[in-house]
Amino acid sequence: MFAKVKTFTLIGISAEQVDVEADIRSMGLPSFNVVGLAEGAVKESKERVKSALKNIDFNIFDRPITVNLAPADLKKDGSHFDLPVAVCLIKASGMIEENLENYALAGELSLDGKLRGVAGILPFVSSLPDKTKVIIPNENVKEASVLKNIEIYGFDNLSEVIEFLNGNKKEAYSEEIVFESGLYDLDFADVRGQFFIKRASEIAAAGMHNILMMGPPGSGKTMIAKRIPTIMPEMTIDEAIETTKVHSVAGLLRDNKGLVQKRPFIITHPTASDVAVVGGGKDAKPGLVSIASNGILFFDEFLEFKKNVLEVLRQPLEDRVVTVSRANRTVVYPANFMFVAACNPCPCGYYGTEKECVCTAAQIQKYRSKLSGPIMDRIDLHVVVDAVDIKELNKLPEGENSLKIKERVVVARDLQKKRFVDEKINYNSQMSEKHIKKYAKISNEAFDTLEVFHKKFKLSARSYMKILKVSRTIADLENSEIVTKKHILEACQYRFDNIT
Ligand SMILES: Nc1ncnc2c1ncn2[C@@H]1O[C@H](COP(=O)(O)OP(=O)(O)OP(=O)(O)O)[C@@H](O)[C@H]1O
Ligand SMILES: [Mg+2]
């Protein structure tokens, strides 16, 4: 007998429909073949399905069985094929009554027939026509319920699925998604003093400018970086869905997690490989640049990273998407993150502080050599963070809280949204020279001030443009149409040109 059910395979953060077809012949030698460009986990699916079915007393493997995954020219990967293959076999053997035309299934099986959560469920349900009935592991129902037009049925094991398809009805899962605010446990109020770096973080968040902080150990760089998501505007529903899809494909939502509402904050350490950062590998999975999309990607100990890792960051930083290639497939993932980096001023960490620095001039120069690399060209704000004396700090009052700072950031973001409505960009940091000429709106006095600074520090053309972009954001934070001298003077402070 023949049966067919629907499932999916992933291409980037989209899902393509795959039909699982099973044919069980009544005569012939026992065999079990899966055809249709099955790769990796799908090939192994055969063994899991066989054991799971045997363990729930479905002994159909004494006959010739063929499973086809259509369309044949599309590569299929993922452990979620187990459930559709198993259900299709049971249907083909005549032991399921329900017509499966309106159903779509996905889930991994353990050898004893339990269902395990899988990656890619949100892209899967988003690709289905309205009113489709979806059968998935219970671990994935929260994620699937982000979309309202689909009927979701979650189960813990294969036997329950079969009982359901044979008339043991149950309610579709539904959960009202409440869009929450104030989701963060951290707050800028915890950071005492350090007004300069806090202000730089506000400007960075307002114009989506990448930022590099340089300072001695314990000066609060990591503490501040972690608080930047708390001053960014709330995610829109589209941003939240996009982020959830990436996290789903990366397999981060298996544990019954739903819509990702907090902006991601991803810390990367110098031991990270280039594949871990940009994505790829055997199964073309998204990397940290995509997982951080719509949030922050934080490179701690920035100057300790290997050159090849910094090299591969260039494309996503420029394009805000990343192209991941695997043997004969290329997928594109979003990579719309704000880049935040932190480093020490020298290998021992104390150059320029009251503590004695034990590094030689040559060591310091070598350590800082990466500061002129290609990634530095993509970082608009360079900030020197001063050492702090924790005892003294504790005497200072609490800082301004994240909510207050966020209000100013939101004003600046709204102005940018209006400004760039007819352009292909969204933030001041993305402005090209053409945009800067059109939108910077700099006063004569401000222009003269920039010229003085330009001559004094022999600014490169690139630095000159960055100061203009950053000063546009500073003006936006004040809701000012015109960039004035004050804005230029402040923007000039966020450059390392005088120390590298
Ligand atoms: N401005 C501050 N206000 C309150 N606490 C602070 C401040 N700066 C530092 N601290 C305290 O010091 C701790 C260490 O700070 P943090 O880890 O952010 O330093 P860092 O600059 O990242 O150091 P490293 O270079 O070693 O990574 C923080 O967890 C916090 O408790
Ligand atoms: Mg740190």
pLDDT in tens, 52-65: 999 998 888 999 99
pLDDT in tens, 428-444: 999 999 999 999 889 99
- Least confident range of 192-201, 269-278, 303-312, 325-334: 325-334
Quote the pLDDT of residue 325: 81
- Residues 459, 382 contacting (CB under 8 angstroms): no
Task: Name the percent of the chain lying above pLDDT 90.
Answer: 68
Quote the pLDDT of residue 489: 93
**CATH classification code of 188-401:** 3.40.50.300
Alpha-carbon distance of 104 to 88, in angstroms, equals 11
Check whether 418 has a pLDDT greater than 80. Answer: yes
Å from CA of 387 to ligand 1 middle: 9
| Mean pLDDT value across the chain | 91
pLDDT in tens, 10-41: 999 999 999 999 999 988 899 998 888 777 77
Quote the pLDDT of residue 499: 39
User: pLDDT category, 327, cuts 50, 70, 90?
Assistant: low
When pLDDT is averaged across residues 67-76 and rounded to a whole number, the result is: 90
Domain at 2-165: CATH architecture: 2-Layer Sandwich (3.30)
Domain at 431-500: CATH architecture: Orthogonal Bundle (1.10)
Query: Is the pTM of the predicted complex or chain greater than 0.85?
Result: yes
Which ranges in the chain are annotated with CATH 1.10.8?
Answer: 431-500
User: pLDDT category, 112, cuts 50, 70, 90?
Assistant: very high
- The residue to mutate among 187, 198, 214, 222, having the most atoms of ligand 1 within 8 angstroms of its beta carbon, is 222
- Residues 118, 254 contacting (CB under 8 angstroms): yes
Which ranges in the chain are annotated with CATH 3.40.50.300?
Answer: 188-401
Greatest pairwise CA separation for the chain in angstroms: 91
Tokens of 444: 């004569």
Check whether 173 has a pLDDT greater than 80. Answer: yes
Nearest to 92 by CA among 62, 57, 70, 66: 66
Residue with CA nearest ligand 1 atom 16: 220
User: pLDDT category, 182, cuts 50, 70, 90?
Assistant: low
Residue with CA nearest ligand 1 atom 11: 220
Element of type H or E holding 490 = helix 485-492
Alpha-carbon distance of 371 to 213, in angstroms, equals 12
Å from CA of 219 to ligand 2 middle: 8
Pick the more confident residue, 201 or 353: 201
Tokens of 5: 């059910």
Looking at the CA of residue 224, tell me the nearest atom of ligand 1. Answer: 18
- The residue to mutate among 191, 195, 213, 223, having the most atoms of ligand 1 within 8 angstroms of its beta carbon, is 223
Closest ligand to residue 194's CA: 1
User: pLDDT category, 328, cuts 50, 70, 90?
Assistant: low
pLDDT in tens, 358-406: 999 999 988 888 777 778 878 999 999 988 777 777 788 888 999 999 9
Quote the pLDDT of residue 500: 39
Which ranges in the chain are annotated with CATH 3.30.230.10?
Answer: 2-165
User: pLDDT category, 476, cuts 50, 70, 90?
Assistant: very high
Q: For 154-219, where are the alpha helices, taking DSSP H only?
A: 158-165, 195-207
- Residues 390, 193 contacting (CB under 8 angstroms): no
